[in-house]
Structure 1
């Protein structure tokens, strides 16, 4: 489904480092190194539609200050410091003292092996990018500058004319691995920029008594940059009264395109074929939910409202799940029970194109060695294994009201769970787990359910998981994304643990 709202593009700074004294001593070296920098710029610009700001050469303290001011003026989210050749660390320190964006040093050697018989001093200097990295690391550490290093090969597809050796390394594993890391850093920067410009709606309240769900809005904005817009049910009710019949019919068509309408469940008497009235109501509420998102320019939505028995708002919240699933598939993740932290995890997964479906533990299957993970909605339709099913529910367990729920599983294969919890110090914390979803059996009860096999047996995994003090919800993404999520945690300065 098309995204309702574009996420702000990541802004990536790049500069190439070198020593000013070399340029007169070794003609052509300066141009050769800036050519490597231009190659990096071109490749980075193709990742996540990044905006790239290439300062060029930093070869002395004065250029370092100018580069720092340039990156600050362009509000970059990340700086790639390309280690072209040796440079004094004093030349680079001003860059990162002025602009505090995450620093990633790129130690990318142009050739897999120099031509030992023909290599001159100038030729060697074009390949000694690793030489200054220890000095840079020491200076950054002592100056309190957070940095990371990517080591590997540059990955050129053509050898420069000036070179005395073969520099075609695009297919080598060292280049492939390095560029995978670079891509992950750019994706991490896209999350940082996306969150810093995001607006999360908080509709209603948190489910009463779920102490792990409660979030400090100031803490949330302070650590992510995202704004929290507090919404009332009367805001949504106002949207409902503005919905046109044409909007309702369009929503009904959208629902028919993306869902299978169930028959009665043979197992659970609460799960029935949705009635025409239930489907009509879900379509009306979905149209109102989309209006709410547009009215308040939202990037995500956390919600919960139990409503007074028999009241209008109880009926309104009974129609939530279908519309919130549609919104989630359109890039506006919706998390139930007032779980703002898991809405954040879902948004992160969605920004990097990995889905992000709302989950908790459902039940353990000791025969299959899997844990069933899911919830009573919403669901990320873009990562479904086939068309999700709509079931009419006689009641929502643990909640008031009745309505239509989504039954689905995440497609079989590699998955990564991203849990977001909060520590005693008030810091957000990521819990990251790679696993495999299976095509095992699920219940026909109108809930999302995915059987997941972890790298350890269920009890051993749960021993480790529970010891990290998680919330009971998390986001399920497709693919093995632990390295990517760890970089996102790093660039957001959020502690993380990989299980």
Structure 2
């Protein structure tokens, strides 16, 4: 499915460092430094970023100009390329003027200099590490946070001026460095797309789930996202406008996307959906789409208890299918009014990693796995096979009946991203890499994925529970701990990585 909204590209500033006195002393060195900077720029652009290359910062005046330039371009992140020696006084103004997060790139062009033939000018093209301690010291004393990526430049050619082999694109030192750089770009993408993102909060939080309660002002203050409080009547207003043709089209979409179950489930409460249930879920799904469009939402968390026999109880009974479709369409939807997990799901979604709504289901001590899932919604794009729709005789712990999704996340590497809140009111990420297996699941109309952690289930849960998590989290595909770590850094959200 194509995302409903195209993600905004991160805006990345790049400059290369050097010492102005060198240019007259060593012909060709200045042009060589610029060439390296242009290579970095093109590489960063290939990661889906909008890149603004200032050129060389080689004196205090250029540092001031570069800082103003990056402010004008509203960059999310600056890559400060340590191309050769530079005085720290030259680069400090860049970051005193532009407050964007900074990553210093110490990327050596060659694996080994030509000791027999190397001249001073040649050596200076390979001494990018030399000024990094000085820069680090100056940044620290000036109160400027910085990060450093060390490695190799990764050229696929050797410049004509060079006295050594600079084809290093296949070197592990280059591959590792560029993986880190790409993750910084993606982390900047998350920050840009969260800033001003519109999170809908429909209804309320499940009563008594104290871990779910969130401070809306805190949420906007720490993420930059806007929170739009919605009422069930906002959704019902759209429900009254849904046409039979729209229901028919949505029903067709549902039947193409899902497998419709027969009466084969072990649980008598989870059997074949009736036509009435499917049509109602389709109608509600159309209204959910219209609600998202009206309020220009990027994500949605929801819960409505509903008095028995109340019209809104019937409306919320049709939520799961439509919210699952929206989640796969780039609008993550989290149940039970869980705003913090909705944030985790949105981060996973921005990065193209999925982000399925989960909690602990049960432990399989025979297989050494923990079954993780929920009663919906589900991120359909990361499912193993087609998800199954089952008609539910009731929603456990909730009012009403309807259609629910039964599915598992595809087998392989996964990363769970939990978002909790600490005693001081701050958000905190809990990150865990693991493996989803193709183990058995129950036929009860819920999402379930058996997950094997690096440690046994009890040891892992000891670590997990000690971090004061909420009981929900987002499951994403791939091993993404180092990526989520960088997202936390740029958002200034504390984090912990478990089960290392």
Structure 2 partner of 1:201: 200
1:26 pairs with 2:52? no
Q: Deviations over 1:43-93 (max 9, x none)?
A: 10010x211011111111111111111111111111000000011111111
Distance between the aligned counterparts of 2:157 and 2:444, measured in 1? 58
Structure 2 partner of 1:14: 14
Query: Aligned to 2:51, what secondary structure does the other structure show?
Result: strand
Shift of 1:246: 2.2
- The number of aligned residues is 498
Structure 1 partner of 2:438: 439
Structure 2 partner of 1:51: 50
Distance between the aligned counterparts of 1:225 and 1:329, measured in 2? 23
8 Å contact 1:265–1:445 — kept in the other structure? no
Structure 1 partner of 2:227: 228
Structure 1 partner of 2:316: 317
Shift of 1:244: 2.1
Q: Deviations over 1:206-228 (max 9, x none)?
A: 00110100111111111110000
Structure 2 partner of 1:141: 140
Distance between the aligned counterparts of 2:282 and 2:265, measured in 1? 26
Shift of 1:282: 0.3
Structure 2 partner of 1:70: 69
Shift of 1:245: 2.1
Query: Aligned to 1:294, what secondary structure does the other structure show?
Result: helix
Query: Aligned to 2:250, what secondary structure does the other structure show?
Result: helix
Distance between the aligned counterparts of 1:34 and 1:220, measured in 2? 42
Structure 2 partner of 1:2: 2
Structure 1 partner of 2:168: 169
Q: Deviations over 1:295-337 (max 9, x none)?
A: 1111000000011111110000000000000000000000000
8 Å contact 1:407–1:446 — kept in the other structure? yes
1:288 pairs with 2:287? yes
1:477 pairs with 2:476? yes
Structure 1 partner of 2:494: 495
Distance between the aligned counterparts of 2:103 and 2:54, measured in 1? 15
Query: TM-score by structure 2 length?
Result: 0.99
Distance between the aligned counterparts of 1:335 and 1:266, measured in 2? 26
Q: Deviations over 1:249-290 (max 9, x none)?
A: 111111011100001244111111000000000000000001
8 Å contact 1:8–1:197 — kept in the other structure? no
1:180-329, aligned counterparts within 5 Å?
180-329=179-328
Query: Aligned to 2:213, what secondary structure does the other structure show?
Result: coil
Structure 2 partner of 1:374: 373
Distance between the aligned counterparts of 1:188 and 1:395, measured in 2? 41
Distance between the aligned counterparts of 1:158 and 1:244, measured in 2? 61
8 Å contact 1:111–1:153 — kept in the other structure? yes
Query: Aligned to 1:242, what secondary structure does the other structure show?
Result: coil
8 Å contact 2:265–2:271 — kept in the other structure? no
8 Å contact 1:300–1:343 — kept in the other structure? yes
8 Å contact 1:111–1:167 — kept in the other structure? yes
**Unaligned 5+ residue runs, structure 1?**
none
Distance between the aligned counterparts of 1:481 and 1:433, measured in 2? 9
Distance between the aligned counterparts of 2:252 and 2:132, measured in 1? 58
Distance between the aligned counterparts of 1:100 and 1:217, measured in 2? 26
Query: Aligned to 2:240, what secondary structure does the other structure show?
Result: helix
8 Å contact 2:265–2:444 — kept in the other structure? no
8 Å contact 1:302–1:335 — kept in the other structure? yes
Shift of 1:6: 1.3
- Runs of 4+ in structure 1 off by over 6 angstroms are none
8 Å contact 1:19–1:60 — kept in the other structure? yes
Query: TM-score by structure 1 length?
Result: 0.99
Query: Aligned to 2:207, what secondary structure does the other structure show?
Result: coil
Distance between the aligned counterparts of 1:163 and 1:487, measured in 2? 35
**Unaligned 5+ residue runs, structure 2?**
none
